[in-house]
Chains A and B, each alone.
Chain A
């Protein structure tokens, strides 16, 4: 599979993996290894008790140390640009990275991103030196605005977060691919099955970010491997060039007329 870069960082895997909701730190650790993912998303929460998180974050850090991967903190739970900017600044200090997955939700039912707050936050964060990965819808104009303010990567949804519905609007994603050539597009959210991820890659998107589909699988470790293979296969298929669809059958075996003439 061809290599690619995100904000100047070369990567070979096109699988970005979320780290929430795994049954145990050890299963998370094994799932990361099985996935081959080089970018792992992490979060932030308010804390009062001195108790830790039962070793999950330590497992992530240990795994990254071994693989040389990259953390991608998120701003989950933010509803305004100001909240997201503050949380991003806190994430940069805690995780020692300028990478930020920017989430600013505008609807509680769908967890759909708020485009106005998202663009506003992205503009401020880019000016502050962040490498912004905006979680956005598949709306072309919103995506253009995010690029205008300095985002170099876009992360359009496939379906609402955690829904597992797959790509609800392949047309919109295909349009993004055609209208924004050269921009790394990563499908983020809504992926449920490995086939969904392969479909996204066959459309020409550069990567897939998912969490629940692996964490909630009966066997997260094997599912992580399955997604890794599906994403690689989808990308290889895209690079190889998927054949054009046709309405009618076209014989694949080259025969010269009918082989037998039986009266």
Chain B
């Protein structure tokens, strides 16, 4: 079975899966996280049209405290 990784964890891949669809499946509000695919930023406006491919690395980032 083909896979991609979500924050380094393997996930099953399926045809036509977009970044936006994955976030919806995860139950995450669109403005709660930022996304990058294979190390490149994916803006909110492009999540609907950005397809995840087998072997891709998707990164979700959320706000935290910092110095």
Determine if A42 and B9 form an interchain contact, defined as CB atoms under 8 angstroms apart: no
Determine if A76 and B67 form an interchain contact, defined as CB atoms under 8 angstroms apart: yes
Closest beta carbon of chain A to B12's beta carbon, Å: 16
Determine if A22 and B65 form an interchain contact, defined as CB atoms under 8 angstroms apart: yes
- 8 Å CB interface, B3-45 against A: 6-9, 26-28, 31, 33-36, 39-41, 43-44
Q: What residues of chain B lie closer than 8 Å to A22, measured between beta carbons?
A: 65
Q: What residues of chain A lie closer than 8 Å to B34, measured between beta carbons?
A: 44, 89-91, 93-94
Closest beta carbon of chain A to B36's beta carbon, Å: 5
Can you list 21 A-B pairs, Cβ within 8 angstroms, ordered by A? A18-B67, A19-B65, A20-B66, A21-B65, A21-B67, A42-B63, A43-B63, A44-B63, A45-B61, A45-B62, A45-B64, A46-B61, A47-B62, A48-B60, A53-B64, A74-B66, A76-B66, A89-B43, A90-B61, A93-B43, A95-B63
Q: Digitize A81-103: 1 where CB-to-B-CB distance is under 8 Å, 0 elsewhere.
A: 01100110111011100000000
Size bracket, chain B contacts: 20 to 34
Number of A positions contacting B (CB below 8 A): 36
- Chain A positions within 8 Å of B, measured between CB atoms, are 18-22, 28, 41-48, 50, 53, 56-57, 60, 73-74, 76, 82-83, 86-87, 89-91, 93-95, 161-162, 211-212
**Known contacts A47-B7, A86-B36, A89-B41; is-contact A53 B61 (Cβ 8 Å):** no
